Amino acid sequence: MTTEESLRPQSLMLTFLGEQVLGRDVCVYSGSVIDVFARAGVGEQATRSTLTRMVHRGLLRRQREGRRMYFGLTQHSAEVLLDGERRMWQTGAVNRHWDGTWTLLGFSLPESWQRQRHDLRAKLAWSGFGPLFGGLWIAPGEVDVSALVAELGLASHVKVFRANADAGTDIGAMIEETWELPELADRYTAFLRRWEPWDTAAPDPDDALARRLLLQTEWLRIIRSDPRLPVGHLPDDWPAEQAEKTFRGVHERLTPLADASARRLLDLVAVRPDPA
């Protein structure tokens, strides 16, 4: 089994930790991680490098037990994983309950603030916004961006409004002009092509844990790039609903074997409090 090129080891690592560590107050042995990642097509050196980088970035903490090194979550990585868990299992990929409101965010930054502009646009896209015009971005529903703006230190340069479109506005056309719908649809279609056969295939018990890891990582990558636009204004053949059905079906088929494999393969220890 090999990973898709677009699935970075850090993304796989976060998915793995969300599955096996989040909410359990445990750390996992590095050798266990290396074993599972090898089954997903990631080499030992790449796995070790990913663990080290994530420690340096404040996404992992180390805990030594005898001669073994274990890795656990930090507060920051736990928050990232909880957000991913919500998007995967609660928010979903299809927005059927849009109330007609939009969040509009306007910003004006000095020309020399190229880095700040790049960071703001990246975080807005992550939060489901699209560029209606150059300095005016829009997202469906009510989106709280206060933490995002405060984190970037741009509160004095950003204005946020809630609005409804005028009756004469062609919302479908506006959506097509603001978001790259064909690109997003292609991602869902590629997911379906890759994973639909597993909806009926009998999984290999030795591969189930790594296979579920790849499934969840790819699905989360797609839905995090999806602004969850109102389904009533999307093309009739929009593939998100079928892709989500496939994700949940394959996940359900893999989980009993994957959980059994995790119990066999993973060496977990309880988190020890950091010394004062």
- Mean of the pLDDT values across residues 134-156? 91
Number of other CB atoms surrounding residue 83 within 10 Å:
13
Whether the Cβ atoms of residue 50 and residue 9 lie closer than 8 Å to each other: yes
Bridge partners of residue 230, in order along the sequence: 95
Quick one: tokens of 113? 């603030």
pLDDT value of residue 275: 52
> CA-CA distance, 133 to 172, in Å (whole number)?
16
* Helix locations, 60-207, DSSP H: 75-86, 114-126, 146-152, 171-178, 181-195
Per-residue pLDDT tens over the stretch 217-251: 999 999 988 999 999 999 999 999 999 999 999 99
- Mean of the pLDDT values across residues 54-74? 95
pLDDT value of residue 45: 96
Sign of the C-alpha dihedral computed for residues 30, 31, 34 and 39 taken in this order: negative
Per-residue pLDDT tens over the stretch 204-225: 888 999 999 999 999 999 998 8
Share of the chain above pLDDT 70, in %: 96
- Mean of the pLDDT values across residues 76-96? 89
Query: Would you say residue 12 has pLDDT above 80?
Result: yes
Lowest-pLDDT range, 2-11, 166-175, 186-195, 200-209? 2-11
Average pLDDT, the chain: 91
pLDDT value of residue 245: 96
